[in-house]
Amino acid sequence: MIEPFLAPPRMGRPVRDRRQVVNGILWKLSTGAAWRDLPERYGPWKTVYERFRRWSADGTWDRLLAYVQQRCDAVGSVDWTVTCVDSTTVRAHQHAAGARKGGLRPGEAIGRSRDGLTTKIHLACDGQGRPLAFTITAGNVNDCTQFEQVLARICIERCGPGRPRTRPERVVADKGYSSTKIRSYLRRRGIKAAIPERIDQINGRIRRRESLCRLDRAAYRRRNVVERCFNKLKHNKPLATRYDKRARHYEALVTIACLRIWLA
């Protein structure tokens, strides 16, 4: 199924069994071991790593995830009634820092927060807890700043004619996403919001004698599906602790883990 999406082999070189290479990448995703520790049954570790690096750079994993999501949506298994948005913080290993000054690499989505060097995964999932889209940022980036970027990445093509599916019926998020800008953004797109207000916002509305935002508590109780999605992702050791120096490699591992959730 995935062979048409993989880059063609380079001319003049023997072709390594792609199933063997993909299995080696999945072993790396499950164990979090170093590439040099790859078992011999998957072939030379450098070959597996080079294929992973090449497919990460040319967007192969993104195309695979988009294809699987498209097929699932075609049979009606994507729950568009609720989309849950949240973020999780991942501790960066000392090997992931790799810079001489301060342990930070500009542009590699590693920042200094309360827990040290960290990375954040900002994710949106459907009502069944399957990932629709995500972004990777440094750990000190505020959650609400990535809200629009995450929703903008939700784009599932249709198998037949018609525009891509980009808009859920309702978005559920915690108090960290309660802001006028986010609520206005959802209102412009015709998406209902199930986001509770913070206590300071509630007190401000009371002082101004404004009506409080209505919260659909039945929909908000479904927010735990995104927490369960993060739990499934972090069963993969290299996602629970970041070892990769390059942000695109870590993002590729997250994409492959999302693929496994959709195919489960």
User: How does pLDDT run across 24-36, given as a tens digit for each residue?
Assistant: 999 999 999 999 9
pLDDT of 146 > 70? The answer is: yes
User: Does residue 97 contact residue 118 with C-beta atoms inside 8 Å?
Assistant: no
pLDDT of 101 > 60? The answer is: no
Q: Which of 24, 51, 50 is nearest to 38 (CA)?
A: 24
Q: Which residue has the higher pLDDT, 113 or 158?
A: 158
pLDDT above 90 coverage of the chain, percent = 78
> What letter does residue 128 receive in the DSSP assignment?
T
pLDDT value for 161: 87
pLDDT of 56 > 60? The answer is: yes
pLDDT value for 145: 95
User: Per-residue pLDDT tens for 173-214?
Assistant: 999 999 999 999 999 999 999 999 999 999 998 999 888 888
Residue with structure tokens 């049979």? 75
Quickly count helices (H) and strands (E) in the chain: 11, 7
User: Does residue 61 contact residue 29 with C-beta atoms inside 8 Å?
Assistant: no
Q: How far apart are CA 1 and CA 172, in angstroms?
A: 34
Our CA angle for 134, 61, 249, nearest 5°, is: 70
User: Does residue 232 contact residue 38 with C-beta atoms inside 8 Å?
Assistant: no
Q: Is 118 helix (H, G, I), strand (E, B) or coil?
A: strand
With cut-offs at 50, 70 and 90, classify the pLDDT of residue 51: very high
Question: Domains along the chain?
Answer: 79-242 (3.30.420)
pLDDT value for 114: 82
Average pLDDT over every residue of 205-225? 91
Average pLDDT over every residue of 42-59? 93
Q: Which amino acid is at 100?
A: R
With cut-offs at 50, 70 and 90, classify the pLDDT of residue 164: very high
pLDDT value for 98: 63
pLDDT value for 116: 87
Q: How far apart are CA 115 and CA 9, in angstroms?
A: 43
Burial class of residue 153 in the structure, from the number of CB atoms within 10 Å of its CB (0-12 exposed, 13-18 middle, 19+ buried): middle
pLDDT value for 97: 74
Of the CA atoms within 13 Å of residue 57, those in its CB half-sphere come to 8
pLDDT value for 253: 97
Q: Which residue has the higher pLDDT, 172 or 104?
A: 172
pLDDT value for 251: 97
pLDDT value for 16: 65
Q: What value does the mean pLDDT of the chain take? A: 90
pLDDT value for 115: 76
Q: Is 168 helix (H, G, I), strand (E, B) or coil?
A: coil
Is the pTM higher than 0.85? yes
pLDDT of 104 > 80? The answer is: no
User: Per-residue pLDDT tens for 2-25?
Assistant: 666 666 655 555 566 788 999 999
Q: How far apart are CA 215 and CA 194, in angstroms?
A: 6
Q: Which of 133, 134, 179, 174 is nearest to 155 (CA)?
A: 133
Q: Is 161 helix (H, G, I), strand (E, B) or coil?
A: coil
For the CA atoms of the chain, what is the radius of gyration? Answer: 20
